[in-house]
Amino acid sequence: MNNNFSIEDNILIAGASGLIGSAVLRHFKLNRYKNLFHPTKNELNYLNKDQFFEYCVKNKIKHLIFAAGKVGGILDNKNNQTSYLFDNTELALNALKVSIEADLKIVVLFGSSCMYPIKSPQPYKEKDLLTGKIEKTSMGYAISKILLTQGANVINETGRHYPFFISVIPNSTYGPNDNFDDKTSHVLGALINKIYTAKVNNDPEISLFGTGKSLREFVYSDDVADAIFFLITNLKEKPKTAINIGTSEEISIKNLALEIAKIVGYNGKINFNINKLDGAPRKILDITQMKTLGWSPKVYLKDGLVNTIDWYVNNIR
């Protein structure tokens, strides 16, 4: 157990209503942590640095899980590059500054697989970061995440009495509280929404973006939360780089769509619009570092899909 981390400590979970933040909140509650702070957007605006700092001081926050951010799928990223860049860069700087100024002890920050150079050998290894060009459709978002995670590395390496920053790079995350809007969500949430809607409407066929050949690795949100808890409670030294979190299991978008259709019971025809964006042809992370530390994912994709679809049907539809 990390000596700086106690079940009695006050912990702020930023973005607790979102996909990863809500999973972290569930995980900490299951482990009997009670002093958990998870303000809504109306209660605390993380873009307001002074308000963010004052909240931490007033509530004697000791640790921060910073899962707040502007996130979206390939189309929303491509069409709103500047807003993804500006909002997430401001959030990144506020998280780093407030963590130091409020004298926080352990701080978890989130990167993204889109930070990796598109032409790096796969699976992506942490050492590949900053070695080449990144994919254009998510450039704004990727730049802000590079600033956040590399900034944390710089601070960790100063050797000063600053927070213990842990930066993680979860691959495409899914689960309860995901975004299922087909215009702003990531691919898995959009597919669930589109295929389930087609089933309800008895549509004979649907059209999906791209060729369907792109390969993706998906990690269940509760696995991400479990990995974060593992790192917080086991790391003894400040990491020198961000740490990948994934499953080493990949699937084509076409096969993912077919699996979702099978689970929801949709028997119509699934077409692919090859004139639409595919994104990166492949995106899988090397999780050797996590496995060497002693952590491995627990939720297989099929089981995670069933859980996610159940949540979607009961909470969104």
Residue environment code for 78-87, b if the CB has 16+ CB neighbours within 10 A, otherwise e: bebbeebbeb
Residue carrying the six token digits 């998510």: 138
Angle at 189 between CA 205 and CA 149, to 5 degrees: 145
Give the type of residue at 122: Q
Question: Do residues 215 and 251 lie in contact, with contact meaning Cβ atoms separated by under 8 Å?
Answer: yes
Helix extents (H) in 13-80? 19-30, 49-58, 74-79
Distance, in Å, from the CA atom of 67 to the CA atom of 263, rounded to the nearest integer, reads 30
Q: Indicate the SS3 state at residue 57.
A: helix
Q: Indicate the SS3 state at residue 244.
A: strand
- Hey, which residues are catalytic here? 141
Q: How many residues does the chain have?
A: 317
Across the strands, what pairs with 218? 172
